[in-house]
Structure 1
Amino acid sequence: MIAWLKKHARTFIMPLIFLVGLGLLVYPSFSDYWNSFHQSQAIMSYSEVVSDMNEEDYDKILESAKKYNENHEINWDFTEADKATYNAELNFNNDGIMGYIEIPKINVKLSIFHGTDEAILQTSIGHLEETSLPVGGLGTHTVLSGHRGLPSAKLFSDLDQLREGDIFTIHVLNETFTYEVDQIRVVEPTDLSTLTIDPEKDLCTLVTCTPYGINTHRLLVRGHRIENVNGSASVVSDAVQIQPVFIAPFIAIPICFLLVLYILIITSKHFQEKYRNSGQRYMEERGLKRPVLRKRSYEKIILNIQDFMDKRPRNR
């Protein structure tokens, strides 16, 4: 079989190239769906843990986070001791998820993790550890960072579509914090001047790379805290619906590949000689003659059938 495959390798090249190209074409859509599905599962798991939490533990976690913000202003000289204290806050499920963010205008719903390590930013949104925890309150400024333009996940790819007046919400525990965009800026990666705390405001800034695909600067979308809009205070997460248009290609590709492979095999000379002619060889080995049905034989059979039908007694 291996020798036959080597001999007919060229036959497989074009179908294989086609299937690989098709796979590359649908990969971004399917990968984004897959990431969204896992995000939904993570958010639902987070919500279930929160709903099972007793009131005493709930208040303790929330108050600890608020106290952390009071004692830790924005500090760009984060030490290992600071990091250990930070990682202990809002990490009641020991999975690094502190909540999730929703941006209705661009259809984003993503979990928020501690820190901005690359492993986190490949699939989720990271909280800039030197900034305020996302639990609201005057004199706080939370900064959330997300990648843009990844082929495997949408994340903050459409963040540039936000305009002043648009809203986004952050969900932590059973609390919902709604922010209205009031400032959009493009700055150098090292420019941190706009990420300061205003004692009279509750702020949150969303950060991503720009321009798209070049990533030489940073897009900063800042929002100030407002009252929750009707319907935005719910912590129930919606499951991601499976879109057939995303799933179908990944079912069709292996089926098409197997179909092409089957056709190539049964039409090959090797198959014809070994399998299709096996019946003829069987008869020859046993001295049997193969029946030959010619055109006249077919015609005779048809005439006999017609004659039989004509002579058949009919019901009256």
Structure 2
Amino acid sequence: MKKMISYTLIVLGLLTMLYPKANEYYENAQTQELLEAIDSSTKSGYSDIAIDPRLLLEYKDVSRTLEEMPDTEDTGDNINEQIPHGEQEKVASTSETNSKKAIAVIKIAKIKLNLPVLEGATQTNMKYAAAHLKETDPIGDSGNAAIAAHRARTKGRLFNRLNEIEVGDEIVVEVGSKSYVYETDKISIVKPTDVSVLKKDPNNKAVLTLITCDPLVNPTHRLIVRAQLKETIL
């Protein structure tokens, strides 16, 4: 009987040790599956750009998701205060997405990034992919297209190495048969409630904004990488 208990404890210990690696393997497999399943004919699939209250609410949800905060906690009160009274319930239904099909692939050669992009920055979507904030502009269009991803602790996973990007570095986003080549022009660290990073370029240029947490451990701010469209390859 004692031997059986000992064997059981050993097995449980091994399972506890192996679970993180198994989970990481599964999520990496999901990432690869998305990359392989991208439909080359996908050219749009974006929601219409919504009014400011919806964008503010989505950014608040993204901020919470990036920190993996429990549902009972809320760090986005300042953003809530910017949403007109009575609008929050009206726009809440737009904060989720059922899409599990990648709409794009983001590639950054400098940090060896090759990551699928899903539509809608939900907790599920951001578990193993980057996510396009559906209330921002479509990728490649005039305006500001925002993409968020977790700052995973495993080196090279998701936006883990985004802090290595420098002004002048290229970011390529493939959408269907088109490749949008952006050039990084600004890097900043902001508070989670700073929604100014989602503003459109005053000259209405095509801008890409990448969003993740900072620092890597116990994040308190957001690392923002902004880039302007330099070239479109058909």
Distance 1:74 1:176, change over 3 A: farther
How far, CA to CA, are the matches of 1:43 and 1:20 in structure 2? 30
The answer (yes or no) to whether the contact 2:214–2:221 under 8 Å persists in 1 is: yes
Distance 1:76 1:158, change over 3 A: farther
The Cα shift of 1:168 comes to: 1.4
The Cα shift of 1:11 comes to: 4.6
1 or 2, which has the higher helix percentage?
1
Aligned to 1:166: 169
* TM-score normalised by L of structure 1: 0.53
Aligned to 1:123: 128
Which of 189, 212, 224 is the aligned partner of 2:216?
Answer: 212
Structure 1 letter corresponding to 2:110: K
Distance 1:40 1:8, change over 3 A: closer
Aligned to 2:58: none
1 or 2, which has the higher strand percentage?
2
The answer (yes or no) to whether the contact 1:76–1:130 under 8 Å persists in 2 is: no
Q: Between the two proteins, what is the percent identity of the paired residues?
A: 25
Distance 1:73 1:224, change over 3 A: farther
1:222-261 deviation per Cα after TM superposition (whole angstroms, max 9, x unaligned): 1111126xxxx59xxxxxxxxxxxxxxxxxxxxxxxxxxx
* Cα RMSD (Å): 3.5
How far, CA to CA, are the matches of 1:43 and 1:164 in structure 2? 27
* TM-score normalised by L of structure 2: 0.70
Aligned to 1:251: none
Structure 2 letter corresponding to 1:209: C
Structure 2 letter corresponding to 1:19: L
Question: What does residue range 145-294 of structure 1 map to in structure 2 within 5 Å?
Answer: 145-149=148-152, 154-198=157-201, 199-227=203-231
Aligned to 1:46: 38
Distance 1:19 1:96, change over 3 A: closer
Aligned length: 199
Is 1:113 aligned with 2:113?
Answer: no
The Cα shift of 1:162 comes to: 1.1
How far, CA to CA, are the matches of 2:130 and 2:91 in structure 1? 22
**Structure 1: 5+ residue runs without aligned partners?**
1-5, 235-316
The answer (yes or no) to whether the contact 1:181–1:221 under 8 Å persists in 2 is: yes
The Cα shift of 1:107 comes to: 2.0
| SS state at 1:118 partner | coil
The answer (yes or no) to whether the contact 2:137–2:144 under 8 Å persists in 1 is: yes
| SS state at 2:54 partner | coil
| SS state at 2:224 partner | strand
The Cα shift of 1:20 comes to: 4.5
**Structure 2: 5+ residue runs without aligned partners?**
56-89
The Cα shift of 1:80 comes to: 4.2
Distance 1:110 1:12, change over 3 A: same
The answer (yes or no) to whether the contact 2:38–2:101 under 8 Å persists in 1 is: no
How far, CA to CA, are the matches of 2:14 and 2:172 in structure 1? 42
